[in-house]
Structure 1
Amino acid sequence: MLVGVCQIDLFVPDSGSLKSKRFVLTSLKTRIRNKFNVSVSEVDGNDKWQRVTLAVSMVANERRVIDQTMSQILNLISQDGRCEILDHMLEIL
């Protein structure tokens, strides 16, 4: 059994308040959870208007499955258009 954790730093350029950032993130987190059956949480940047760090975690039997799923999640975020990926780090335990 392997556990994959991906930390994703995001920039939300059109966010003018914490409320507008929360609206974008709630929608994005729900889409990720529903499509990929993973856990998603906001772990940093709670008090910043345009920056946020998300943590995505999942359990799988093969490293390939984790790599593939996390790559698809990063592609979904990139194609969303409401936020930009500044950095990401994948760790498999």
Structure 2
Amino acid sequence: MKVGIIKAHLQVPGSRSLKEKRHAIRSLKDQLQSRFKVSVAEVDDQDLHQSAVLGVSFVASDGKNAQSRLQNLVNFIEDYRNAVVVAIDKEILHEN
């Protein structure tokens, strides 16, 4: 069993309020959950109106599958039009 983890640091450039930021981030979260069947949460910068940090996680049966899913998720996040990626940290945890 492998666990894939992504921590995505995002900027929401056009956002003038927390409500606008949450709308943009909620849309990304919903798309990730729907398309990739992953768990997603805003894990930091909740009170900043132009910044967000998302945590994304999933379980995979093997390393090759986990690596492929991880890359597909990163590509999707980087291509999302309502936010700019500042940094992405990714990791695959292995069962002992």
Q: What's the TM-score bracket when you normalise by the shorter of the two chains?
A: over 0.9
Structure 2: segments with no counterpart, 5+ residues: none
Q: Which residue of 2 aligns with 1:45?
A: 45
Rounded to whole Å, the distance in 2 between the matches of 1:38 and 1:26 is: 14
Percent identity between matched residues is 37
Rounded to whole Å, the distance in 1 between the matches of 2:36 and 2:79 is: 16
Q: Secondary structure at the residue paired with 1:15?
A: coil
Matched, 1:13 2:42: no
Aligned pairs, number: 93
- Deviating runs (4+, > 4 A) in structure 1? none
Structure 1: segments with no counterpart, 5+ residues: none
Rounded to whole Å, the distance in 2 between the matches of 1:16 and 1:80 is: 19
Rounded to whole Å, the distance in 1 between the matches of 2:43 and 2:64 is: 25
- Deviations along 1:24-66, one digit per CA (max 9) or x if unpaired, are 0111100000000010010001000111110100001112212
Return the letter of the residue paired with 1:83. A
Q: Which residue of 2 aligns with 1:83?
A: 83
Rounded to whole Å, the distance in 1 between the matches of 2:73 and 2:91 is: 15
What RMSD over aligned residues (CA atoms) do the two structures have, in Å?
Answer: 1.0
Normalised by the size of structure 1, how large is the TM-score?
Answer: 0.93
Return the letter of the residue paired with 1:32. L
